[in-house]
Structure 1
Amino acid sequence: MLKFAKRLSGSRTMGSELQDRFRGCMLGGLAGDCLGARFEGAYWGKVVDRDAVARLVSEMTNPEAKSAAGRSKALVVRRYTDDTSMAFTLARSLLENDGYRERYLAKSFANDYKREPGRGYGGSVIVVFMKLFEDSCRDCYKPAHDQFDGSGSYGNGAAMRVAPVALFCDDEQELERVAMEQAMLTHANPDGVCGAVLQATAVHHCLHADRGKPFDVAACLQRLRDAVERFPRQPAGAAAGSRTASTTATASPITCGGSDSLATFLTQHSDYRATVDKYLKKLDTLSVLLANPHTNQQEVMVELGNGIAASEAVFAAIFSALRTLRMLNEPAQPSAEQPADQKPVPEGAAGKEGKPSAGEFSAMTETIVHAISLGGDTDTIACMAGGIVGAYCGAGGISPSWKPVLESYATAVSLADKLCARRHKLHPQP
């Protein structure tokens, strides 16, 4: 089993180690988004040849890469998409308001879209933004609620941006509540909201996992299951009977009054029970797939999906991330996807100057390559998977050669540092 260069005691990370993991999360999401965007839309309903993905990722990030004709290839800065744009906006909003403020965040999302509409925003969220600009809009949740005949969007857009919530919220209850509320600004369907809660929980769990011990995949899966079983998390002091309150799926959630009403709105949605059952079933499937080292991309795509639905993209991302973290615990062994003499290693945990030894490669690279190879919504799947693994492995998992090709690398680091500084201020550590 590979060991990290630094060993920590206890379940909490401390000092510069925590800062490294905050940076790893933000940079992992940025890297997955920028690199995955190159493949988005070209492989709907099918997987991508893994070797081809690895080769292209290398060409995109390696200053010594050669073209097929043997010519040197100039590096191109890879632009981020709406995934990162909205994650940056969410991080800034949390910092500037010292917490979640729905109206401020909603208008910030809309203003950022207006300033840079070419980031690949989906059509349905653009409609939400346009309605938020209307003077008559007094309820910032209503535009999302009204979509699709009142059923709301089940897409992955709320999950793709949610990582800053996991960095901002130390308390589990607050984490699930804020993940839910920020999701409902653009996605009012239980599927889209539950996906955001699950992704936030995965990042939060990995951020605080003890790197002095082998990563416990089973414990992570159990925490994800717990989050789904209590979804949506009721705010402190909520009435015990609020899950069966009289609010209907046709009522505007915010006008009913705060977090309790938002949660109640979700439980009264016609898709609520089916969503919870689907997520629990997929967690079972995820566990089975992770237990088999020979699981291949085709099986993952068929069983979990790779599309724009939160219940597909989020599970594909979590599989890609936990697969890598599981492999860190194990001796190298053959699989259907890579030879027996290779396994991922946190960059900086082996070899000199943070470089993996022969036959090894970084956990972040492995995660992003695998996530992209699943096809479908590649930028979002790789973005979410990168954020999860980055929260565990830290910024050392980002190859130095990636820095000049990832747009706004410095912005991701700056936001991570500000979020970490806030955490240190609230919880001083020796």
Structure 2
Amino acid sequence: MPSSPSGPHPTTWDPPGSPSRDRDRGCLLAAACGDALGGTPSRKAEAPPLPRPTGITSLTLVLAEHLRGRTDDRGATIDRDRLVEEFTAAWQRDPDRGFGGGEIRIFLSVVNGIAWESASVSAYGGKGSYGAGAAARVAPVGLLPVPMNPLAQLARDSAYVTHAHPLALEGAAIQACAVAYARRADRERPLAAFHLLSTVARYSTSSEFRSQLARLGALTRGRYTHRDAVRALGRGGTAAEAVPLALAAFLRSPDDLPEVVRFAASVDNGRGRVAAMAGALAGARNGVDAVPRSWARCLEESQEE
């Protein structure tokens, strides 16, 4: 589990040859903090202690380790059969962490010898899950040193093992590309919200996501509250709502990581997904030192309980 910003960080994704390990560490640590804060609706984000992160963080770190062993100068790959086995093992080690119901059904299928492809595709009446769980754990893909097109496909591949619905796959691709954009942008210059949205929109193929991104673009032209964001984009119950909400939290104050996470937690409805995604974006832009030390310290302590 991520530790304090100044301490060791053995599970952090550290791409070969990466010039910005600080941003990689910040991305995963802030995502875990967002998961913890957003996953507890009654928790005030202004003060510790942070509650324990949910299964989102567990699967994010599993994905990071999976990619670590499959990335080289030629690019990166995902072994979906192996990945779903690794996800299942993480769930078995700590089943009370707070995994999504759809994810648990996939993991139970794997344990019982049922092909994960069948379980993933057959979920929710044969449509596959369209929740935001896969997008919430996809941050390690966004840290990969690969071009956007293959990065988007890797995000879809990582999502498909538990979330086979096209909107869930698209949400994971958009979130991963947004993390990559935030990580690669010059932090000495103001973040160009319009350019970020136009960049990630290239990986949107559905009218639903395109409409949501258009609404988000209109929202970011002025100052907005969490109520404005929910009114425009929805309550975050699906990937098509949660991913734009996370982007709204980030684009509202991209250089203020605590405020990004607080804003996202206020619209997360106790799921942890929106705040985890928003935290990943803010951490990828601002680096590990932008994470409040009290958050990081309490997060580390929560893992030792």
By the TM > 0.5 criterion, same fold?
A: yes
State the partner residue of 1:57: 45
| Identical residues among aligned pairs (%) | 31
1:228 counterpart SS class: coil
Quote how far apart the aligned CAs of 1:131 are: 0.9
C-alpha separation between the residues in 1 aligned to 2:125 and 2:174? 26
State the partner residue of 2:55: 82
The 5 A counterparts of 1:255-404 are 276-293=206-223, 295-325=224-254, 346=255, 363-404=256-297
C-alpha separation between the residues in 1 aligned to 2:50 and 2:247? 27
Quote how far apart the aligned CAs of 1:302 are: 1.6
Q: 1:409 to 1:89 in 2, by over 3 A?
A: farther
Quote how far apart the aligned CAs of 1:146 are: 1.2
2:269 counterpart SS class: coil
Residue deviations 1:37-57 (CA, integer Å, cap 9, x gap): 221xx6xxxxxxxxxx7xx32
State the partner residue of 1:27: 29
Quote how far apart the aligned CAs of 1:307 are: 2.8
Quote how far apart the aligned CAs of 1:305 are: 1.5
Does the 8 Å CA contact 1:159/1:183 hold for their aligned counterparts?
A: yes
Does the 8 Å CA contact 2:249/2:278 hold for their aligned counterparts?
A: yes
Letter in 1 for 2:259: E
Q: How many pairs align?
A: 283
Unaligned runs of 5+ in 2: 1-16, 72-76
Quote how far apart the aligned CAs of 1:408 are: 7.6
Residue deviations 1:130-167 (CA, integer Å, cap 9, x gap): 11123353xx3221001122111110011010000111
Letter in 2 for 1:290: T
State the partner residue of 1:131: 109
When structure 1 is superposed on structure 2, of 301-310 and 191-200 the one drifting more is 301-310
C-alpha separation between the residues in 1 aligned to 2:302 and 2:290? 14
C-alpha separation between the residues in 2 aligned to 1:409 and 1:376? 21
Letter in 1 for 2:143: L
2:203 counterpart SS class: helix
Give structure 1 regions of 4+ aligned residues with deviation exceeding 6 angstroms.
none
Q: Out of 219, 228, 233, which is 2:204 matched to?
A: 228
State the partner residue of 1:191: 167
Q: 1:308 to 1:407 in 2, by over 3 A?
A: farther
State the partner residue of 2:9: none
1:215 counterpart SS class: coil
Quote how far apart the aligned CAs of 1:192 are: 1.0
Letter in 2 for 1:26: L
Does the 8 Å CA contact 2:38/2:266 hold for their aligned counterparts?
A: no
2:283 counterpart SS class: helix
Residue deviations 1:80-138 (CA, integer Å, cap 9, x gap): 1011011001011111344311111010111111111011112221111111123353x
Letter in 2 for 1:89: V
The 5 A counterparts of 1:140-289 are 140-229=116-205, 276-289=206-219
Quote how far apart the aligned CAs of 1:178 are: 0.7
C-alpha separation between the residues in 2 aligned to 1:179 and 1:162? 6
State the partner residue of 1:18: 20
Does the 8 Å CA contact 1:79/1:407 hold for their aligned counterparts?
A: no
C-alpha separation between the residues in 1 aligned to 2:38 and 2:257? 13
Unaligned runs of 5+ in 1: 1-14, 43-52, 61-75, 230-275, 326-345, 347-362, 411-430
Superposition TM-score, scaled by structure 1 size: 0.62
Does the 8 Å CA contact 1:37/1:81 hold for their aligned counterparts?
A: yes
State the partner residue of 2:100: 122
C-alpha separation between the residues in 1 aligned to 2:114 and 2:54? 30
C-alpha separation between the residues in 2 aligned to 1:378 and 1:131? 24
Residue deviations 1:207-243 (CA, integer Å, cap 9, x gap): 10122322111110110111114xxxxxxxxxxxxxx
State the partner residue of 2:5: none
State the partner residue of 1:37: 39
Quote how far apart the aligned CAs of 1:290 are: 0.7
Letter in 2 for 1:198: I
Does the 8 Å CA contact 2:45/2:265 hold for their aligned counterparts?
A: no
C-alpha separation between the residues in 2 aligned to 1:320 and 1:77? 20
